[in-house]
Structure 1
Amino acid sequence: MIETTDPRDDAVKKGLDEGVIDPTEDKSLVRRIDLHVLPWICITYALSLIDRTNIAAAKIVGMEADLNLTGNQFNVALLVFFITYLVTEIPSNIVIKAVGTQSYLTVLITSWGAIAMCFGFVKTYGQLLALRVLLGFFEGGFNPACIYLISCWYKRYEVQQRLAIWFVFGSVVSGFTGVISYGLSLMEGQGGLRGWSWIFIIPGAITVAVAIPIFFFVAEFPEKAKWLTVEERVMIQRRLAGDQGEDVEGKGTMKSFLEAALDWKVYVISLILMLPTATTYALSFFSPSILASFGFSVALSQVLTTPPYIFGAFVSILTGIMADRVRLRFPFIIGYSILHMAGLATISWGGSQGARYTGMFLAIAGSNCAIPSALAFLANNVVGTHKRQFAVPIQTIFGGIGGIIGSLMFREADYPGYRPGIYASFGCMAANTTLAGGLALYFWMGNRQADRTGKVLEGVPGFRYTV
């Protein structure tokens, strides 16, 4: 609990503990939280996506030829990023709790921004691989930190729309990577560098510049946030304890780790994240190449990657708000999976160039929307901030594995149809539908038994699974 020394603060705390939080004050507090928590992590998430995926744009404007990449070397360069990315995810939320949000995120963001700039100066395949490994190391701790931070500030049914805003903002901005990259590639010869070099240098420099205000403005955890009054801290503690079943303060223990590590449901929901993540990365890395296979020029292929991500943003935010209001997750996850599969079918068998491009809208929207829904599915069904401190990185590790799978789905040998990649993506989302439906049935049966017999779920009286 929060310790106070002023008797007036103790009186405030006692009144909040015994009373009901005023709805108007609660809404005002949530708006303040939104303004302090979301903007900076949204901006930096967008930059992280640009810095890890702009290699796809650089590939088709000369990098592949200049570095003499052959066979599956490009796929390997994509893959090695995720090796170190996975390694840093588990300790991330332990470190961020120990050193604080501001210091931790500033170091991560500055480091990967500087590394991203270095890509513009690579001369060999070996240098490219080394930088991808380093980039993965520093980006790996960022996503679980952001997801955990959001889950520590909001109630269970406020989480998905915030995760959707965070994820979609990043996806939309990174969706402009094609347009931005095309513009930067026109700097060919500036400073004695190739156009593709500037595709890395400029975004990397922007990332480093943004890291500086992060140290001063990004929100700490509720118990450490200096911009909150004592009354507001207690209000947050009360609203979260009543919703999540645990005090928001303290540190995770080995018991918390084992509870997360031995909970089979954590792994099923992690798979529900891994599968759409694989398809999302596959499309992110290969959208320009897929569009070029439709017959579009290189320049137009870069530009046309953006509209599907904008469409996906509207779908994700709209359905995220709906999902929080109706307090359901699985129908949306299944719906997104079906949307993605319909898009894949249209890409492969749509016939005309326009129809196949429409398929890109459906496929990208379906896979991108499924990710924040899967993140919220876990956050809603893992009780207590300490268990969630370990459950979130377990889930994001599976997301990283999805990135490895996605980097291998589409191969140059399969150009122009990319049929094996299409079939693999279809299989991922079909499996996702089965997993989400099966787990939802298990949760529904558990809730029904608890309602009928009074059985206590997850050790917390009154807790019900979010289906």
Structure 2
Amino acid sequence: MATTRNTADGSPPKDSLDVEKPGALVEESFTENIEHPAVDDKKLLRRIDLRIVSWLSLLYALSLLDRTNIGSAKVAGMEVDLELTGNRYSVVSLLLFPTYILLEVPSNMLIRRISVRKYTAFLILGWGTAAMCAGFVENWRQLIAVRVILGAFEGAFQPTCSFIISSWYKRYETHQRIAIWYMSGAFLNGFQGIISYALSRMEGVGGLRGWRWIFIVPGFVTAALAVPIYFFVSEFPERAKWLKPHELLHIQQRLHADRGEVEEKMNMHRLGLALKDWKCWTLAFMLFWSTSGSYSLSFFLPSILRGFGFNTALSQILITPPMIVSVFCSVGTAFWADRIRIRSPFIIGYMTLVVIGIVLIGWGPNLGSKMVGVFFMTIGNNCTIPTVIAFLVNNIPSSSKRQIALPLQGGFAGLGGIAGALIFRTQDAPKYHFGLYLSIVFASCCIIMTSILVAYFHHENKKADRGEKVLETIEGFRYTL
């Protein structure tokens, strides 16, 4: 199936050449009036949700747990046993991210060439094993090696999730799915403190310290899931054998009607188009500003809470309430944003909430106000991240460009992880004012960049409304504000 999107002068756009022919099930043109059984959109979407979003959410939740439970292990005794003095803990935390970033960009191209189930099963077996090995290290140098390997496998998995979701759903169906996928991680991470505290109570089991079980048990569960993932995960729409031919055609028609969706083979020309598009870089930076705050919370919130005067158990358990509240806020925001078809006000609003939360954490007059600040900062960061990802998916309609833009954005999220690991320094405990100042700067930068981008989108939409240009070489396409 080959579909050409014309430019304003009637000629085919450069990035619409060599369109890949989908699977043999469907050969008909989108524009033909074909007789086929009626398809109930709601029922079909529910089936897709169960086959796609459910397993992506589970795996992402486990990946987030496997890379962020180091914060709970630190306060449970790892810091002393592995001699994580000075900046060693920050170094151990951040060295997950170089390989995490490097493996993101090629990952979407690899999953297209291999298969979803084979590639995903390989990745989760790898990161589950690496996470489990963290429970057996004897010194901080060995822990660094394990974290580097963990980053490689998890970095390759991260961008495939949002790319798979964008390949199945229309533009204004993506935010709620991305929010459910992302917040599943935040939900499990919300219980991470309780889970980690329970596992730390296994002190002495098998002759191991309690903090080691914080790594071993979740890592084993993750690695074990490689078997069912290999046999039961769905491929991309054009390879999905569980769909009937008329259902596959219906999915392709609805995606094409929404954004002129066609599958495009990646080549050097399209790679260059993606890398030269300033919108891709701006959206990537926006995710950097928000993830730096999210990762800093994951790595240092137990330490910050301990600085408030809570003991080790409470500093782990008190992570849960703000995380759980942020899950409901994020998913509710996503459904509302999809309904009204807008993104930027939510990004700006939640980043403003982050700034307020930071001020309360650092300079609140009492413990109650500081805990309100923890809620605000957690909710703001966790609600912003899926919104920024959906903002990219909505405004980069070309599938080949999304193959580059999403891992590029994910790579900057990894850089945010590095920043998050560095800005809250051990020597700044217990108040961490240096990290709080930088967090305010990061949130402010996200607000400014969002404002600039949405002003540009509004200007371009007005020009398209006047018939002065065709946006993204797709007639009728408008940027989402």
Contact 1:346 1:358 in 2 (8 A): yes
SS in structure 1 at match of 2:138: coil
Q: TM-score with structure 2 length normalisation?
A: 0.93
SS in structure 2 at match of 1:141: helix
Matched, 1:373 2:387: yes
Contact 2:39 2:250 in 1 (8 A): no
Matched, 1:286 2:300: yes
Contact 2:290 2:384 in 1 (8 A): yes
Question: Distance in 2 between the 1:465 and 1:297 partners?
Answer: 49
How far apart are residue 5 of structure 1 and its match?
7.7
Percent identity for Structure 1 against Structure 2: 48
SS in structure 1 at match of 2:95: helix
2:171 to 125, 148, 156: 156
Please identify, of 430-439 and 237-246, the stretch whose mean Cα deviation from structure 2 is larger: 237-246
Q: Deviations over 1:285-313 (max 9, x none)?
A: 11100111111111011100011110100
SS in structure 2 at match of 1:458: helix
Contact 2:23 2:238 in 1 (8 A): no
Contact 1:97 1:251 in 2 (8 A): no
| Partner in structure 2 of residue 68 of structure 1 | 83
Distance 1:5 1:298, change over 3 A: closer
> What letter corresponds to residue 115 of structure 1 in structure 2?
A
Q: Deviations over 1:349-383 (max 9, x none)?
A: 22222221121111001011111111011111112
1:310 to 306, 313, 324: 324
| Partner in structure 2 of residue 347 of structure 1 | 361
Which residues in structure 2 correspond to 1:1-150 (within 5 Å)? 1=1, 13=28, 17-18=32-33, 25-150=40-165
Distance 1:5 1:140, change over 3 A: closer
Question: Distance in 2 between the 1:439 and 1:202 partners?
Answer: 44
How far apart are residue 245 of structure 1 and its match?
1.6
Question: Distance in 2 between the 1:316 and 1:23 partners?
Answer: 34
Q: How many aligned positions are there?
A: 462
How far apart are residue 219 of structure 1 and its match?
1.7
> What letter corresponds to residue 168 of structure 2 in structure 1?
W
Question: Distance in 2 between the 1:274 and 1:416 partners?
Answer: 25
> What letter corresponds to residue 287 of structure 1 in structure 2?
L
> What letter corresponds to residue 157 of structure 1 in structure 2?
Y
2:251 to 236, 244, 257: 236
| Partner in structure 2 of residue 301 of structure 1 | 315
How far apart are residue 22 of structure 1 and its match?
9.5
SS in structure 1 at match of 2:265: coil
Which segments of 5 or more consecutive residues in structure 2 lack a partner in the other structure?
2-20
Question: Distance in 2 between the 1:220 and 1:62 partners?
Answer: 43
2:409 to 380, 392, 395: 395
Distance 1:22 1:368, change over 3 A: farther
How far apart are residue 20 of structure 1 and its match?
11
SS in structure 2 at match of 1:18: coil
Distance 1:224 1:446, change over 3 A: same
Contact 1:17 1:238 in 2 (8 A): no
Q: Deviations over 1:203-261 (max 9, x none)?
A: 0011012221111222210000010011111111111112122313x522222211111
Question: Distance in 2 between the 1:16 and 1:453 partners?
Answer: 24
Question: Distance in 1 between the 2:68 and 2:352 partners?
Answer: 25
Contact 2:100 2:152 in 1 (8 A): yes
Question: Distance in 1 between the 2:195 and 2:131 partners?
Answer: 15
Distance 1:427 1:227, change over 3 A: same
Which residues in structure 2 correspond to 1:325-364 (within 5 Å)? 325-364=339-378
| Partner in structure 2 of residue 455 of structure 1 | 469
Greater helix proportion: 1
Q: Deviations over 1:379-412 (max 9, x none)?
A: 1111221111111111111111111111101111
2:432 to 418, 429, 435: 418
Question: Distance in 2 between the 1:335 and 1:27 partners?
Answer: 31
| Partner in structure 2 of residue 266 of structure 1 | 280
Q: Deviations over 1:55-103 (max 9, x none)?
A: 1101011111001111100000011100100110011001000111000
* Superposition CA RMSD, Å: 1.8
Q: TM-score with structure 1 length normalisation?
A: 0.96
| Partner in structure 1 of residue 196 of structure 2 | 181
Question: Distance in 2 between the 1:38 and 1:358 partners?
Answer: 32
How far apart are residue 155 of structure 1 and its match?
0.6
| Partner in structure 2 of residue 384 of structure 1 | 398
